[in-house]
Structure 1
Amino acid sequence: MADPEKLFKVNVITPDGMTYSHRASIIEMRAIDGARSIMYNHLPILTPLAIGEVRVKRSQEMNQIIDHIAVNGGYLEFSNNTATIIADSAERARNIDVSRAKAAKERATKRLKVAKEKHDRRSLERAQIALRRAVNRISVYKSKK
């Protein structure tokens, strides 16, 4: 008899509340110091996340479901077979309004250009973050296909 599938709980929480909650066999994300993968019975960990995609693999079976989530930074905490991601914002790929994300990318690109011309470091940093967030949302949206 095969071992039962070993799944753990994954929750993504934003200021608006619970954005995502499922059981998973593995989650993959980008921490600020590199890529991370978490599986069942992983040692406890608390790590800051970079702007990027979180991939939640919901099954070890052949018909594996992978959920793609755009996360704009935040933290991942894993303990007692529960992964909790706390982020300022997070969106599942299927919920991303790609036209809105493209418009945000255009606005950020314009703000970046203006900040460079004015040598405004603070505005430049904000525009770079806004651009990374918009590009991330577009990339995660495309990954769902």
Structure 2
Amino acid sequence: MADPEKLFMVNVVTPDGLIFSHHSSIVEMRAIDGQRSVMYNHLPILTPLAIGEIKVKRSREMNNVVNHIAVSGGYFEFSNNVATIIADSAERAGNIDVSRAKAARERAQNALKKAQAAHDQRSLERAQVALRRAINRISVYNSDN
């Protein structure tokens, strides 16, 4: 008889509330110091997240469905087989308005050009972050479709 699948709970929370809560066999994310994967019974961890994609691989019973979530930074915490992602903003791939994300990318690219021309470091950094967020949202949307 096969061993039962080892699953743990994954919760994604933003200031707007809980946006995702499911069991998972593995979670992959981009921490500020590199790519990380967490499975059942992982040692406790708390790590800051970079702008990136969270991949939540569900159980074999769910045909190994993978949920894709775009996050704009935040924190990942794992203990007692519960993963909690706390992010300023997070969107499931199916909820991303790709036309809005593409418009945000265009605005950020224009702001980047203006900041470079004006040699405005602060505006340049803000535009770079906005561009990374928009590109991430588009990428996560495309990974699910």
Range of TM-score over shorter length:
over 0.9
If the length of structure 2 is used for normalisation, what is the TM-score? 0.98
> What is the alpha-carbon distance in structure 2 between the residues aligned to residue 138 and residue 110 of structure 1?
17
Shift of 1:60: 3.7
The aligned length equals: 145
**Equivalent residue for 2:25?**
25
Q: One-letter code of the match for 1:119? A: H
> What is the alpha-carbon distance in structure 2 between the residues aligned to residue 31 and residue 88 of structure 1?
15
CA deviation map 1:29-68 (0-9, x unaligned): 0000000000000000000000000000001458210000
**Equivalent residue for 2:127?**
127
Structure 1, unmatched stretches of 5+, are none
Is 1:90 aligned to 2:86, yes or no? Answer: no
> What is the alpha-carbon distance in structure 2 between the residues aligned to residue 32 and residue 62 of structure 1?
30
Q: One-letter code of the match for 1:112? A: L
CA deviation map 1:47-100 (0-9, x unaligned): 000000000000145821000000000000000000000000000000000000
If the length of structure 1 is used for normalisation, what is the TM-score? 0.98
> What is the alpha-carbon distance in structure 1 between the residues aligned to residue 62 and residue 100 of structure 2?
35
> What is the alpha-carbon distance in structure 2 between the residues aligned to residue 132 and residue 123 of structure 1?
14
Structure 1 runs (4+) deviating above 4 angstroms are none
- Residues 13-52 of structure 1: matches in 2 within 5 Å? 13-52=13-52
Q: 3-state SS of the aligned residue for 1:11?
A: strand
**Equivalent residue for 1:9?**
9
Structure 2, unmatched stretches of 5+, are none
Q: 1:3 to 1:83 in 2, by over 3 A?
A: same
